[in-house]
Amino acid sequence: MSISKFALPDVGEGLTEAEIVSWKVAPGDPVEINQVIVEIETAKSLVELPSPYAGIVGELLVGEGDTVEVGTAIITVSSEGAHLTAPLKNPAQSALPNEVQVLEAGDEADDASSGSVLVGYGTGGHAATRRGARRTPVAAPPSPVAGTPIIAKPPIRKLAKDLGVDLAAVVATGARGDITRDDVVRHAGQASVFRNIETPAWPSDREERIPVKGVRKAIATAMVASKFSAPHVSVFVDIDATRTMEFVKRLKASTDFAGVRVSPLLIMAKAMIWAVQRNPTVNSSWTDKEIVVHHYVNLGIAAATPRGLIVPNVKDAQDMSLLTLAQSLEQLTLTAREGRTQPAEMADGTITVTNIGSFGMDTGTPILNPGEVAIVALGTIKQKPWVVDGQVVPRFVTTVGASFDHRVVDGDVASRFTADVASILEEPALLLD
C-alpha cells in the first residue's frame, strides 16, 4: 500500500493561491479517479477538483476556509499502485458545464461515452461516485395559493432551485400550462436587488469584518488598477428604444427562438458588435509600446453573482447569428449565476457591456474592465414622454452610457461608436444592411 499526496494545481493561467471552500470527501471515504474531492475558490471563480488517484482518503491536510499556495499538498490517498491518470494540461477548459447539462437532461449514459472531461484529468476511470454526489433531490416548491398545480419538468425545477426562483411565482407560458426554461430565466432576470427579499433585523453585533480575499480581492485590485491607470472619459445618449422592444417581442414569438431567452441585452450586444466593426479602435488593448486592435470581438458581460462581479465573455461573437448569440448569452448568464464560470471564460475579453437597467438604474459611468478600452452601460428601458414629429407621445426610452480609455479612444471615435450603438437600438432593421 502506498500513500499519495495531491498538491493544489494551477487551475488557471498564473494562479498562485486558492481558498478551500468545501471538502466533498472525509478521511476513510473511498475515492475514485475523477471523483470531485474539493471545491476551491480562485481569484476568478469556483472550481471543482477531481482526484487523480483511486483509493481511501487518508488525511485532509488543510481546512475549509484556508488559503493555500499552488503546489501545497492538500490531501492524502492510500492505495495500491496509485497513479496520476493524465498531466494537468488545461484545467480551465473543464467540461463541467456539459456534465451538468447531461444530468439535467436525465441522460444516464456512462461517462466514458458522454465525452465529459473533468478538470484536465481525462475520462479514464468510472465517475459514478461523483455523479451520485452531485445528484441531490429537489424539493417540490409550494403550490400557488389558488391551488393551481405547478407543471414543470425536473430539469426546470432544478434550474429554479439553482437560481433561487419560487416556481409558484412564475408565469407559465408553455403550451400545456407548464413552466418553461425561458419562464424561469425571465423571472430570475426581472428580480432586482430590492425585490423578492425580506428586510432582515439589525444584527446584534455592531460590526462585521469580511476578509478581503478571493473574488472580492481580485475585483478590488482590478478596479483600482483600471481606474488609476487608464484615463476614463464617459459619454451618454438618450434613445427611443420602442422599435427594439417591438423587435424583441417579435423574436419571442418566433419559432426559431422558441425556448431561448430574448431580451433587449441581445439587441445591445449585436449593436455593439456592429458598431465595433465601424469603429475598430474601441476594440483594442493598450500596452506601453503599442495599441493592439482586435479584429474579433470577445464580448464581455458584467454579471452580478453571489460571490461578486465577474465578466465572462462570448468568444468570437462577431461570427454569431442572432440566435447563436442569444443562446451563448443565456448559457453564459446561467453559468455565472450558478457560480461555475471557469477562468478561461473570463480571459481575453475585448469589450464589455453592463446591464445596469436590470437593477432599475437609468445610467452610470462604468469602469473599464482591465485590458480593455471601452465599456457600455445599458440603462433601464421604460415608457417616458418623447417628442415625435412635434407631438409628445409615450415611447420606450433608455439611456446608454459608455466609458473609454482616452489614451486610445479620442472623443470623436467615442461619440461615433456610441451614436452607432444608439442608431441600432432606435432602428434594429439597420442590422439587416
| Residues noted as catalytic | 406
Rounded CA separation 284/296 (Å): 10
Angle between helices 264-278 and 242-253 (to 10 degrees): 120
Residue 423 identity: S
**Among the residues of 164-201, which ranges form H helices?**
181-190
- What is the spatial distance between Cα 403 and Cα 234, in angstroms, rounded to a whole number? 4
3-class state of residue 69 by DSSP: strand
User: CA angle 359-361-363, nearest 5°?
Assistant: 135
Question: CA 117 to CA 124: how far, in whole Å?
Answer: 9
Q: How many helices (H) and strands (E) does the chain have?
A: 11, 19
Which amino acid is residue 417, in one-letter code?
Answer: F
> Rounded to an integer, what distance in angstroms lies between the CA atom of residue 409 and that of residue 375?
12
Task: Indicate the residue type of 353.
Answer: V
Q: Is 394 left (phi over 0), alpha (psi -120 to 50) or beta?
A: beta
Q: Which three cell numbers stand for residue 149?
A: 398545480
Please state, in angstroms and rounded to a whole number, the distance separating the CA atoms of residues 396 and 246. 10
Give strand ranges (E) for 307-373. 308-310, 313-314, 351-354
* Three cell numbers, residue 209: 469584518
Give how far Cα 273 sits from Cα of 267, 318, 321, Å: 10, 6, 11
Amino acid at 198: E
Does residue 40 contact residue 18 with C-beta atoms inside 8 Å? yes
Cβ neighbours, 10 Å, residue 93 = 13
Encode 356-376 in three state secondary structure: HHHHCCCCCCCCCCCCCCEEE
Phi, psi of 352 (to 5 degrees): -130, 150
DSSP sequence for 204-219:
SSS-------HHHHHH
Quick check: 153 and 174 in contact, CB under 8 A? no
